[in-house]
Structure 1
């Protein structure tokens, strides 16, 4: 039986030996496709496989209005942060591998319940199943937001190394889905359609990669002229790739100079804190709320005043139909119309009569009228 880890190592070695140029891009593209398949096999075994067990302590049900996963190397302050912002006391100590299982807590903020999950420290090779890599992957992929906790006193490559590990396991940080669509067909071979000439893809390369995936008849539409081979492979593996916003949080800023804190804080998608000194933790919480992009709605019965005590929290861009589903799964069946007050109403402070497709805004008041 072929050892998957050995196959991954062979492909990685071959890629590192191969010079990147126009003549080798087809070969490298095929190698990237095979690497993605082997990593998927290693990290996500088939159902029923003896390797498929999640492992004790990882069966954390998703709850609340959103899930935030804490990712980082051992001893960067993930457990301390969880203990500061929730009532959960995750084990914290000044030595590595304190947290050996996933530990959930609940952050109450702006009327929302946000589940914070402290995952075991990621080690090098987690993307190949080392440590508890497989279990960390399974949980991290369910996050609505990843909080990458970093040590402000450590070298700057820690962030890049963690990004590579997450990239290898199918987690794309702060990226949108590629502008590529693949439609399988019964015949006709592989046809590539694009409005403008792609910079990094051509029909020969697309053909080679799709055939390696046993796709011989398909229509490939490339909408983004800068789409890459990696984007194409992501679309081919779409069931195993997730796109998650990430906030980089540098801890231990009390141990570095003000100039260094200022430099770090100016990096994209980044904020800073000190758990030990309790500095800027509230700023991190505010940034979490902003990144989750949730909306608070207030419900109103026909003859009553709006209930501002407990908002209904929904995803941004939610419709009245989503609101109905959040209140009760059967409410939509008896729905007649909705009255909406707030910024989504075209009448300002006056209510707008809406159907199920109306998009609500943060802090709208919604009254559902049934048949």
Structure 2
């Protein structure tokens, strides 16, 4: 079976070949493992990457630290309904967002560069969780080269800026230009994430914080005039809760996923633990995600939906809507 390696994997492999330090090699290997297609044709390749990762991690963690923590990882496994990465300049409010919407223990301070490593947390939206990842600040004085891989691997990115910053436009333009150097463009939407040359269109939204402060709403309006064609812009204040209630829903809707509830024949569905799949997924995709033999032997499915179906049989190519209930028959 051909490997059919993706442009994202090929870029990570090139980064590994060009890496000069063990930390850079570790970052590239973690990205390679995250992006390699998972099928029988790549089993040997996956095993080789895992072997190299284990050996390199052991080497890095055994080395005496020089002002840095041991065992720092540049890759965080995806959890929940999607992985959302928070990027932005110093003191933009990224850590405040993570701390407010998740149970993660974050360090929040008025001085810059408080966040020095990736920090994940899980945000609740109804009956699913969304993974938020805080990242080190992006600015001319400080730029972590491995951060671009984290952005590429994300399902969605939030460019967090403070409406109180006197240089907010310069901060946005710097981040855009720096990402462009690494073949990354932040966009509202994209049909295809990567092209054959490794260029990435990353779906993103600008989150404007400190909405509660004086002149913030005027600044937000000006920001929308300048950037609304490129990305959606969302105003937020975790201090006064402006924009807080709708924030999880806004993020969930942009992840482009659907929740599917499983149902055994003659029993009630479990509405507390949905299976999350990409929009456009079919009954056959759903069956295959459970087990390939189930997809192969599938005879039919029954669907209960919010608006139109009430247990009717549907074909294999039926496309799910959010919160459909599915009963598979093989």
Q: Give yes or no for TM over 0.5.
A: yes
Secondary structure of the residue aligned to 2:111 is coil
| Equivalent residue number for residue 233 of structure 2 | 270
- Give matches, 1:57-206, under 5 Å: 57-124=73-140, 131-133=143-145, 135-154=146-165, 155=167, 156-174=169-187, 175-176=189-190
What's the offset of the Cα at 1:297?
1.7
Secondary structure of the residue aligned to 2:295 is helix
Does residue 361 of structure 1 match 2:284? no
Q: Within 2, Cα distance between the matches of 1:48 and 1:259?
A: 45
Q: Within 2, Cα distance between the matches of 1:342 and 1:271?
A: 31
| Equivalent residue number for residue 31 of structure 1 | none
Secondary structure of the residue aligned to 1:357 is coil
8 Å Cα contact 1:152-1:256 kept in structure 2: no
Structure 2 unaligned blocks of 5 or more: 1-10, 28-70
TM-score normalized with structure 2 length = 0.72
Structure 1 unaligned blocks of 5 or more: 1-39, 179-233
Say how many residue pairs are matched.
266
Does residue 287 of structure 1 match 2:250? yes
Change (3 A) 1:103 1:324: same
Q: Within 1, Cα distance between the matches of 2:196 and 2:279?
A: 28
8 Å Cα contact 1:265-1:271 kept in structure 2: no
TM-score normalized with structure 1 length = 0.65
Q: Deviations over 1:35-64 (max 9, x none)?
A: xxxxx79x9241775342328232322222
Secondary structure of the residue aligned to 1:245 is strand
| Equivalent residue number for residue 249 of structure 1 | 207
What's the offset of the Cα at 1:284?
2.4
Q: Within 2, Cα distance between the matches of 1:272 and 1:105?
A: 21
Q: Deviations over 1:51-86 (max 9, x none)?
A: 423282323222222100001012111111101001
Q: Which deviates further from its counterpart, 263-272 or 310-319?
A: 263-272
User: Over aligned residue pairs, what C-alpha RMSD do you find?
Assistant: 2.7
Q: Within 1, Cα distance between the matches of 2:255 and 2:201?
A: 13
Q: Within 2, Cα distance between the matches of 1:255 and 1:351?
A: 52
| Equivalent residue number for residue 64 of structure 2 | none
Q: Deviations over 1:266-288 (max 9, x none)?
A: 75200111233333222322211
| Equivalent residue number for residue 322 of structure 1 | 285
Change (3 A) 1:83 1:325: farther
Q: Within 2, Cα distance between the matches of 1:308 and 1:102?
A: 32
| Equivalent residue number for residue 6 of structure 2 | none
What's the offset of the Cα at 1:265?
5.5
8 Å Cα contact 1:124-1:165 kept in structure 2: no
**Residue 340 of structure 1, aligned match among 297, 303, 316:** 303
Secondary structure of the residue aligned to 2:281 is coil
Higher-Rg member (1/2): 1
